[in-house]
């Protein structure tokens, strides 16, 4: 019973986080419209502090719930199988499902780096006083930073695509609905990833400049 509730909470918090990823991507893609448009979007948000902080609190709650339920469920799964398998039969498991925990940890590590980079502005103190557009563009000219963002988005894509399959199972959708949901999930994961990856890559290639 507790496991079912945990799975439902995990699926719902995951769906909420996907909604955030989509809205955040739409905001970020405005970088292609130039500095005035890109710098205006966080400024507009800051004019509505109640809205901004409600979104932030919901986001922190969703992240916390998602992480805690994943720890709870993986601990329960291990406890249900006290004797480890002699051989790990992961041939049939997809790459995405085998990398859920690792992927989750990489995404968490990425998120902390990302906040330190663009929100708290600690990573490049020499750019800290610049506007958000210039800070973003100059820092993605650094190959290591651009490569780390791209790598993190690949883990995010695997995590999202498997997350949709799991959510379809948890929400007990009919076979037809589950298949449609799963394919919609793959399309969503691919579109989101391409959108995010396009930003560091196009800056690194010099297609977007300060
Ligand atoms: C190429 C990819 C990305 C770019 C260019 C980008 C860009 C940005 C920028 C410019 C900010 C700072 C906004 C501000 O200070 O007002 C920000 C904040 C943030 N980003 Fe990203 N982002 C990317 C990917 C992601 C991903 C994949 C996630 C989640 C896994 C994420 C989660 C966040 C969060 C939680 C914040 C803090 C929002 C707040 O101020 O409350 N970002 N991002």
DSSP codes, 102-138:
HHHHHHHHHHHHHIIIIIS--S-GGGTTS-HHHHHHH
Check pocket membership of 56 for ligand 1, CB cut-off 6 A. Answer: yes
- Return the ligand 1 atom nearest residue 132 CA: 10
Mean pLDDT of the chain: 89
Question: 162: burial class by Cβ within 10 Å (0-12, 13-18, 19+)?
Answer: buried
In this model, does residue 82 exceed pLDDT 80? Answer: no
* pLDDT on residue 24: 96
Average pLDDT (91-112) is 78
Is residue 86 predicted with pLDDT exceeding 60? no
Residue 168 near ligand 1, beta carbon < 6 Å: no
Average pLDDT over residues 23-43: 95
Name which residue leads in pLDDT, 77 or 111.
111
Q: What is the mean pLDDT of residues 110-126?
A: 97
Which one, of 29, 4, 8, 16, lies nearest residue 196 by Cα?
29
């Amino acid at each position: 019973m507790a496991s079912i509730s945990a799975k439902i909470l995990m699926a719902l918090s995951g769906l909420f986080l996907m909604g955030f990823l989509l809205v955040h991507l739409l905001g970020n893609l405005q970088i292609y419209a130039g500095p005035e448009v890109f710098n205006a979007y966080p400024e507009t948000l800051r004019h509505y502090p109640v809205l901004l902080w409600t979104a932030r609190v919901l986001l922190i709650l969703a992240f916390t719930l998602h992480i805690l339920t994943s720890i709870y469920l993986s601990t329960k799964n291990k406890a249900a199988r006290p004797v480890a398998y002699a051989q790990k039969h992961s041939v049939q498991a997809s790459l995405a499902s085998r990398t859920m925990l690792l992927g989750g940890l990489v995404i968490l590590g990425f998120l902390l780096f990302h906040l330190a980079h663009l929100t708290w502005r600690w990573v490049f103190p020499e750019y800290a006083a610049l506007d958000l557009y210039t800070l973003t563009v100059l820092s993605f000219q650094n190959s290591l930073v651009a490569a780390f963002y791209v790598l993190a988005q690949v883990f995010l894509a695997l995590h999202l695509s498997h997350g949709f399959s799991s959510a379809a199972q948890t929400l007990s959708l009919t076979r037809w609905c589950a298949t449609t949901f799963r394919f919609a999930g793959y399309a969503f994961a691919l579109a989101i990833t391409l959108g995010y990856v396009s930003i560091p890559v196009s800056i690194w290639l010099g297609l977007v400049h300060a």
